[in-house]
Amino acid sequence: MSLKLHDLGQIMQETTRRGVGSRRWQHPAYVSFMPPCNNACPAGENIQGWLALAQSGEYEAAWRLLTQENPLPATHGRACYHPCETACNRGELDEPVAVHAVERFLGDLAVEKGWVVACSPPSGKKILVVGAGPAGIACAYHLARKGHAVEIRDASEEPGGMMAHGIPAYRLARETLRAELSRVLAMPGVTLRSNTRVRDVAQAMAEGGFDAAFVAVGASVANHLDVPVEDGHRLLNAIDLLHDVSSGARPLMGRVVAVIGGGNVAMDAARTARRLGARETVLVFRYDAAHMEALPAEAAEARVEGTKIRWLSVAEHFGADGLTVEKVVMNPDGSVTPTGVTEQVAADAVIMAVGQHADLSLLSALPDVAIAKDDTVVVNGHFMTGHAGIFAGGDCIGGARTMTAATGHGKRAAREIDAYLHGQAWEHPPTPPLVTFEMLHLPDYMDATRTPQPEQPLAARTDFSEVVAGLDAPQARREAARCLSCGNCYECDNCFAACPEQAITRRGPGRGYEVSLDLCSGCAACAEQCPCHAIDMVAEPQNQPAPVGSLGEPLAPARFRVRA
């Protein structure tokens, strides 16, 4: 049995690999892989593409490439949970690229400069969008770009859905959100009817002469736990609290506030309570730290601002002595077992943040639209419900209930609706293979630390002004330049310089390189020197007739010209 060791360094591998002979057995091919940031983005942005433009100072071109997928970059640059950065290969070197910070810079610059997108000529088709949250806005945006007329109906006075009513202003400045929403609502063919609740979507379609409908009502109805509350004590739900505060209300919460739950909404509720005057906030969470539902960054921000967490605890009763909690034990299957041991948590008010669901009564008259047990709309692979022409997306169909996931749903639904209006079905293009950190060749890269964003000091976080500030142009350009361009050629010339046979030629800026197979020996020096793995070595076809050189001379017995 032969055993090839892979951990003895480059010398060992160089002496055991298959080398170059008289006949080429492989040759290089320039390829395009899927970068991990693009792959992780729920909105489907070409992050690597617009980062490349931004690092060249082509800010408007970067914004236009970005907004091919996402209409609200300044909004997402602030409030997205940026899973792209979690996936970023740069994190294996030093720190992930601050994608959200560059996106925010481009979005803010577009608002300042008044950039707008172009739309196709009117198609004569009319679509109803129910809900002006991230999914509905994204769907309307992409449909309008294709020339369709879109009417958005929303039950609230102000558009934005949970972006406007659920994300606190200290994370998402309202003037920024309004500016980006206004740009979408000003597009040709887009109209908004606020304070208009759709109670029967099929009836609304028939009365309005719509060709299709997209249901994006979100999940804005709070879930509840059966916690007994004595008279005179305040038990609120987080969704209503965040909505009221977003509308300008400033309810008195008392000195100590308890929050039941451990998700991102619970963190927002706790931080909001601090800004409403609470001196202490404590989360009561039924699981342990390893099973925290909130994203680590969100939980860390809440802790920085003083929020404490009582792990493995469930609420029993809220009365004169505060909140009674019972300790539980977590089982291997994820369930919890009560211990009978109770403790008192001082609390003047209790906020319940245990999830939310959608109000789907507008679909109740349609027996062919299925509603799942978790109160989500059932859709097929094309985002269509069981009723032809009625599509759904965003939080009301479940999945990852985030702003960016909803934006991706809206974009995908718009493509599906456009195809449906043309009597077709949209097919997702093939996805290239994912490029991992192990596939990169980075001997010439130096550490470049992440560009920090200025933050308010803790003592200043007493109101709802933004905690995190943006980057200026030089900082954004530097941060964009930290991108490794994983899996895609950025014309660094390493392959051109490495080829011992001079078989690689430049085709010009933005056009890449060309390999002359008359000269290439298949030595793979180019692939080994490509930092971003934009070159694959492809096996040479076997049993092929001897090739002929560019001057007509036979190249046998070798498959490449031997230099004199």
Per-residue pLDDT tens digits for 121-135 = 999 999 999 999 999
Confidence class for position 391, pLDDT limits 50, 70, 90: very high
Mean pLDDT for 393-421 is: 97
Per-residue pLDDT tens digits for 276-329 = 999 999 999 999 999 999 999 999 999 999 999 999 999 999 998 999 999 999
Better pLDDT: 423 or 548: 423
Per-residue pLDDT tens digits for 38-59 = 999 999 999 999 999 999 999 9
How many residues can be counted in the chain? 564
At 58, the amino acid letter reads E
- Measure the N-to-C terminal CA separation of the chain; round to a whole number of Å: 42
Looking at every residue in the chain, the average pLDDT score rounds to 92
Task: Assess whether pLDDT exceeds 60 at residue 176.
Answer: yes
Mean pLDDT for 520-533 is: 93
* Angle at alpha carbon of residue 335, lines to 334 and 337, rounded to 5°: 135
Burial class of 350 by CB neighbour count within 10 A (0 to 12, 13 to 18, 19+): buried
Question: Does residue 242 contact residue 272 with C-beta atoms inside 8 Å?
Answer: yes
Report how far residue 198's alpha carbon sits from residue 396's, in angstroms, rounded to the nearest whole number.
15
At 329, the amino acid letter reads V
Per-residue pLDDT tens digits for 57-89 = 999 999 999 999 999 999 999 999 999 999 999
Task: Assess whether pLDDT exceeds 70 at residue 496.
Answer: yes
Per-residue pLDDT tens digits for 412-423 = 999 999 999 999
Per-residue pLDDT tens digits for 192-236 = 999 999 999 999 999 999 999 999 999 999 999 889 998 878 899
* Angle at alpha carbon of residue 477, lines to 92 and 498, rounded to 5°: 60
Confidence class for position 16, pLDDT limits 50, 70, 90: low
Confidence class for position 564, pLDDT limits 50, 70, 90: very low
Percent of the chain with pLDDT over 70: 92
Neighbours of 230 (CB within 10 A): 11
What pLDDT score was predicted for residue 547? 62
Confidence class for position 558, pLDDT limits 50, 70, 90: very low
* Confidence (pTM): 0.91
* Angle at alpha carbon of residue 391, lines to 387 and 394, rounded to 5°: 140
Burial class of 61 by CB neighbour count within 10 A (0 to 12, 13 to 18, 19+): middle
What pLDDT score was predicted for residue 17? 60
Per-residue pLDDT tens digits for 243-289 = 999 999 999 899 999 999 999 999 999 999 999 999 999 999 999 99
Mean pLDDT for 505-530 is: 93
Confidence class for position 7, pLDDT limits 50, 70, 90: very low
What pLDDT score was predicted for residue 562? 53
What pLDDT score was predicted for residue 322? 93
Question: Does residue 25 contact residue 540 with C-beta atoms inside 8 Å?
Answer: yes
Report how far residue 51's alpha carbon sits from residue 479's, in angstroms, rounded to the nearest whole number.
9
Confidence class for position 561, pLDDT limits 50, 70, 90: low
What pLDDT score was predicted for residue 23? 78
What pLDDT score was predicted for residue 312? 97
Mean pLDDT for 511-539 is: 93
Helices (H), 114-237: 134-145, 162-165, 174-185, 201-208
What pLDDT score was predicted for residue 479? 98
Per-residue pLDDT tens digits for 93-143 = 999 999 999 999 999 999 999 999 999 999 999 999 999 999 999 999 999
Confidence class for position 559, pLDDT limits 50, 70, 90: low
